[in-house]
């Protein structure tokens, strides 16, 4: 009886071990299809509907850049003047050279002589020195910083000398402490000739 018991016991132990090992192994994964979902027991069968196409990704669209304003192209014919901006308002320069009217040059010399007289009556005498020194005194370089010359008369060369309509420096001749002569060389640009303009 003991001989039959041991083999039977070994068979039972082996069967139990096999059962135990089989229970411990994980079940292989079940592939689930996206097109056919798993059917659940007890639910009614789904009615197939119209087929829907899944969007197919295409090439990436390039980013849209804002358009850069292009300069306006205006057809221009030779000799035509095109103003892109409003021109600055500028007073025309007085005529110079051979186009100068002697009467206008004389009026300018009269204006300078008048300013010299105003200076003399305010400070008790004429400004002294060279053309540039006299102009400096008339243009604020005096005790009170008064400017006697207007912008129309204040036409200077690179040495700071007051020049006439022909770009020749005026000659200031001090006749007395309160009297000064203003001389322009005139169109020939030479002093002490017949076309000189002299104001006292």
CATH class of domain segment(s) 97-199? alpha beta
Cα torsion 112, 116, 122, 123 to 10°: value is: 140
Among 102, 107, 111, 113, smallest CA distance to 195 is for 102
Among 119, 103, 116, smallest CA distance to 165 is for 103
8 A C-beta contact, residue 138 and residue 115: yes
Indicate the domain borders of the chain.
Answer: 97-199
> What CA–CA distances, in Å, run from 104 to 96, 108, 190, 197?
10, 6, 19, 11
Give the bridge partners for 169, in sequence order. Answer: 163
Please enumerate in sequence order all residues whose Cβ is within 8 A of that of 176, keeping only pairs 6 or more positions apart, or say none: none
Cut 0.75: pTM above it: no
| Residuewise pLDDT in 10s, the chain (200 residues) | 556 677 777 788 888 777 777 766 555 555 555 444 545 455 555 555 555 555 555 555 556 666 655 655 555 555 455 445 555 555 555 555 555 567 888 999 999 999 999 999 999 999 989 999 999 999 999 889 999 988 888 899 999 999 999 999 999 999 888 889 999 999 999 999 999 999 98
């Amino acid at each position: 009886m003991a001989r039959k018991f041991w083999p039977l016991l070994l068979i039972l132990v082996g069967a139990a071990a096999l059962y135990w090992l089989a229970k411990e192994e994980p079940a292989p994964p079940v592939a689930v299809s996206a097109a056919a979902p798993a059917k659940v027991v007890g639910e009614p069968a789904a009615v197939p509907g119209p087929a829907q196409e899944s969007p197919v990704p295409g090439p990436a669209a390039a980013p849209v850049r804002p358009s850069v304003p292009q300069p306006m192209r205006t057809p221009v014919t030779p000799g035509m003047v095109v103003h892109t901006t409003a021109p600055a308002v500028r007073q025309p320069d007085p005529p110079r050279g051979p186009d100068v009217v002697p009467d206008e040059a004389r009026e300018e010399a009269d204006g300078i002589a008048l300013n010299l007289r105003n200076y003399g009556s305010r400070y008790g005498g004429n400004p002294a020195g060279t053309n540039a020194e006299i102009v400096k005194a008339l243009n604020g370089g005096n005790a009170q910083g008064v400017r006697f010359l207007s912008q129309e008369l204040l036409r200077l060369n690179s040495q700071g000398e007051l020049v006439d309509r022909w770009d020749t420096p005026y000659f200031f001749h001090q006749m007395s402490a309160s009297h000064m002569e203003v001389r322009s060389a005139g169109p020939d640009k030479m002093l002490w000739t017949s076309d000189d303009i002299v104001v006292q």
